[in-house]
Amino acid sequence: MPESRAHGLLRRLARGEQAALGEFYDLYAGLVHGMAVRVLRDASEAEDVVQEVFVQVWRQAGRYDPGRGSPEAWVCTMARTRALDRLRRRVSRREEPSEAAPSPSGGPTPDTALAVRAALGSLSDEQRKAVELAYFEGLTQSEIARRLGEPLGTVKTRIRTGMMRLRETLT
Amino acid sequence: MSSVDRFLELAPLAALDALDGQDLLDFREHLPGCAECQAELAAYEEVAGRMGASVGAVPPRPAVRDRVLASIGATVATPRPRRPAQRWWLAALATAAAAALALDLLATRAELERMRDRAAALERQVEQARHEVSQLRDELVEARSVRDLVARPESRLTSLAGLKPAPEARGRMIWNAATREAVLLASGLDRAPAGKAYEIWVIGPSGQPVPAGVFQPRPDGSAVVPLPQVEDTALPRTFAVTVEPAAGSASPTGPMVLAGAVS
């Protein structure tokens, strides 16, 4: 993974080098867009998220702390937060997505994507479902319990054990 | 149980922003003073961040890249052909005007950024308020279901006494044989041990305990738990509460803390 390159670009961005944003964009735009498409299932809204995230990267590069996590996790978290914000606003307005979302490209898949997919695949169906409802739909533990019609304690345990398993596999 | 253990167990849920209710309040209060939980949360946040990679890259249209770069002012203006030398004072005046304009632009941009941050902060507050409203709505639904059940003339009341492991515990089951609805009101319960919860049982004519919901008491030891509609509530003989693994059991395995026979 081009992590050291991303660190270098973030340092340049923190110094205000505009050219570095283009390079950073080329590294992570697909990832950010993929995440936004997965959450929103709407191509034009997902592109708005891409724009918001990279403007945020530009403004907050100085605040990025390598000790707190990888650049990839950092941009993914931003993409998820922004996409979920839009999803919630849409739910509160009861809007439907305006057009069909593009599916993931058949292009080269980075090793991390495969590793993460394999890790998710190693969870039980119940664990994966609960973790994905929290992650991609932004539901809380009680909302997930209601959605699945399961006791809250059961849902909490599934999410916890699922995340523990992912942590063992991914770190 | 060690209270830190409970918070360590909440960390993976917190990393997904999945906590709510009392868990969320407790975790927020605990986190600032606990380095162990902060480290645990950071580790799970990294896991959550990496999960995003599982969706695979979907390249946006090329126009998006231009829009991003334009919005930070990174478009490179096409260089103009040089004019022949002008009067020096004209050039100086133009430079000064340009400098003033640039300063103005900087100030405006800074102002805009402040407004944007403020808007983001307000948006977060609205989100928080929306969350609280949805919690209150849930509590209202719960309170209404109890009220409706109590209001029905054919609803009955069965007292549950605290047993040896929980002598302070008290319970009342309000139940309706016709609709199979039931609500447990309990008090004096300790927090369940780590990884455990309280489970309610309805014992009907078959004598076989039927699981009827898992719950955690509130910090003050009370609980209001609407039961799922189980067939045995049509003709219950006994209601009981035991300590079970948090996910619930199919039949009782742990110590019984509350029990009451239908008279």
Write out pLDDT tens, residues A71-114: 888 999 899 999 998 988 877 665 555 544 455 544 434 566 77
B7, B41, B51, best to mutate vs chain A, most A CBs in 10 Å:
B51
Q: What is the pLDDT of residue B255?
A: 93
CA distance linking residue A33 with residue A2, whole number of Å: 18
Of A149, A30, A19, the closest CA to residue B56 belongs to A30
On chain B, the residues whose CB falls within 8 A of the CB of A25 are 65, 68-69
Q: What is the pLDDT of residue A142?
A: 93
The single-letter code of the amino acid at A90 is R
Q: Which of B9, B61, B248 sits opposite A151 (nearest CB)?
A: B248
What is the residue whose two structure tokens read 């309000």?
B174
Q: Note whether B42 contacts A69, CB cutoff 8 Å.
A: yes
Asked whether residue A32 carries a pLDDT value surpassing 90, the answer given is yes
Give the closest-approach CA distance of B16 to chain A in angstroms. Answer: 6
Helix B88-151, helix A71-93: angle, nearest 10:
60
R_g of chain A computed on alpha carbons: 17
| Order of all β-strands in the sheet with B238-245 | B209-215, B196-203, B238-245, B256-261, B156-162, B170-176, B181-187, B223-226
Write out pLDDT tens, residues A130-146: 999 999 999 999 999 99
Of B233, B211, B135, B172, the closest CA to residue A146 belongs to B135
Q: What is the pLDDT of residue B76?
A: 37
Q: Which residue of A has its CA nearest to B74?
A: A18
On chain A, the residues whose CB falls within 8 A of the CB of B50 are 70, 72-73, 76, 112, 116, 170
On chain A, the residues whose CB falls within 8 A of the CB of B213 are 151
Q: Note whether A58 contacts B72, CB cutoff 8 Å.
A: yes
Q: Is the pTM of this model over 0.80?
A: no
Q: Note whether A103 contacts B58, CB cutoff 8 Å.
A: yes
Q: Which of B9, B52, B54 sits opposite A160 (nearest CB)?
A: B9
Helix, strand, or coil here: B207? coil
Q: Which of B42, B54, B69 sits opposite A21 (nearest CB)?
A: B69
Q: What is the pLDDT of residue A144?
A: 94
Q: What is the pLDDT of residue B199?
A: 95
Inter-residue long-range contacts of B104-107, CB under 8 Å, 24+ positions, other chains counted: none
Q: Note whether B56 contacts A104, CB cutoff 8 Å.
A: yes
On chain A, the residues whose CB falls within 8 A of the CB of B18 are 134, 139-141, 144, 159
